[in-house]
Chain A
Amino acid sequence: MITELTKEQESKIEIYRQKWHDNYFKEEFNEDKARQLVNWMYSLSKKPVPQIIILDSPLSVQLSIEVLMKGFPQQQLYQQLSQQIGQQLRQQLRQQLRQQLEQQLFQQLFQQLDQQLRQQLFQQLFQQLDQQLRQQLSQQLRQQLYQQLRQQLSMVFPDTWGDTSWYGYLARYDYITHELFPEYKNETFEKYLELSTAKIDTITTFENAAFISKPPTTLTFDKQDRLHNTERAAIEYSDGYKLHYIHGVYFTENEWTRIVNNELSSEEILAEQNIEKRMAIMSVNESTQLLDAINAQLIHQSGRGNKLYTAKIKNKTVHFLKYACPSTGRVYVSGVPEFSDADDAMCWKFQVSREDYDSLKQEA
């Protein structure tokens, strides 16, 4: 039984992390592999070979599906297969793995090594690929589609097997199976690993058709690996579909253009309802300048670094608290009622007593 990693095993974690990182950032979309992957997945599910449609962006995929659904409402295309196909693969892998590796062994392994592996092996990939790219992409895609199509069309959602959002997991299981249990061979998993390097951006499966989007042609991050670009879109696809981010926060193209051109007034920035958006805007426009621009006066600075400002906006005296997140260091400016002590203002924000706030040590 494995209770801890040997130094040699530990040293190989980085190799697998880098391998899947490179699979994403250095490899190109491989159409042959993508087709093989889809056909293989359908055959695993005992489904007929589908027509595979490859498009340049997830937006093109969504629009194409919507058009087809509208045009052929009675067709079986309606029956999205994501669950069936995903389940089939999971079941097969699970059954085979369970036969080879006792469930108990896996449980022990996960309990004991999960934290270590997660931290060392997946954090960066998760952050870059799984969390930001897939979640934000699909979320913003849906939002954008909603705006563009004025909620007239029903939505379909991409499946989450075989696309690049799995690279974090694949790095994990690639490492576990090959370095920790090299004696166990699983052909299904090996084939899945191999074909997954096709670098499919999104895949959406139906009874007789599968829609694939190619990955973006441009993808840029800040130093903390968050989607970011103040000179062009952080994500661009070859068909022109693009998404704008500032330090991991999504903006519409119009919003983004006004921000990077410094066209927003201080009042507009402070009036932004979303605090993450406000923070991202301030990172471009400099928060100190923002408070200077409204002639804000520092009233009090606490030992915890919270700063309380007052300013006049439209002839009304208002107060703002400037503070940094304890773990990310991000600086926020947030409106508060009238206070004379910065920590009292923070207590108001979290609805806690001063005694409780003074005893608060567990912050992240």
Chain B
Amino acid sequence: METRMYRHGDCLLKRVKEIPITAKKVDGQTIALGEATGHHHTFKQETVQLYKEQDTTFIDVVEPSSLEHQEHNTLQVSPGKYVLVLEREMNHFENAIQRVQD
């Protein structure tokens, strides 16, 4: 059975059928960058293509690829199309939902 999703720290890759045709290609293989540590979640293979539509990132993995990070274990991601979901949390002090910042 194909893997539907992968979690890599505060990043979750969720399989989608298609990447919206309105999404635009973006350079690089880094899907998320840590502000406090300078660490990043990055695909090793350059064949991985990222797309952006507004604030949403889509990922086209065309061959088995390694998702790497300076501290997390490396994940082997199967070919497929994915949407990147970033972890969120509730800020009780501002009564607001916010993306987890790291």
Residues of A within 8 A of B (CB): 115, 126-127, 131-132, 135-136, 139, 224, 226, 248-250, 267, 270-271, 273-277, 280, 313, 316, 318-319, 325-328, 334-337, 348-352, 356, 359-364
Contacts and interface: CB of A to CB of B under 8 A. Distances in A.
A136 B37 contact: yes
24 contacts: A131-B39, A249-B36, A249-B37, A267-B93, A271-B93, A275-B100, A276-B101, A280-B36, A328-B9, A328-B71, A334-B90, A348-B88, A349-B88, A349-B89, A350-B85, A352-B5, A352-B12, A352-B14, A360-B4, A360-B7, A362-B6, A362-B75, A364-B7, A364-B8
Contacts of A280: 36
A131 B41 CA distance: 12
Given A136-B38, A249-B36, A318-B92, 15 more contacts: A131-B38, A139-B38, A224-B71, A248-B37, A270-B93, A273-B101, A319-B90, A327-B72, A348-B88, A349-B87, A350-B7, A351-B85, A352-B5, A356-B5, A362-B7
Interface in B43-63: none
Contacts of A316: 92
Interface string B75-102: 1000000000101111111000010111
Interface string B27-41: 000000011111100
A230 B12 CA distance: 33
Contact of B3 (A224, A271, A350, A361): A361
A267 B93 CA distance: 9
Interface residues of B, number: 36
A363 to B, nearest CB: 4
In the A-B complex, list the 3 residue pairs whose CB atoms are closest, starting with the nearest: A135-B38, A335-B90, A364-B73
Nearest to B38: A135
A271 B101 CA distance: 12
B4 A359 contact: yes
A135 to B, nearest CB: 4
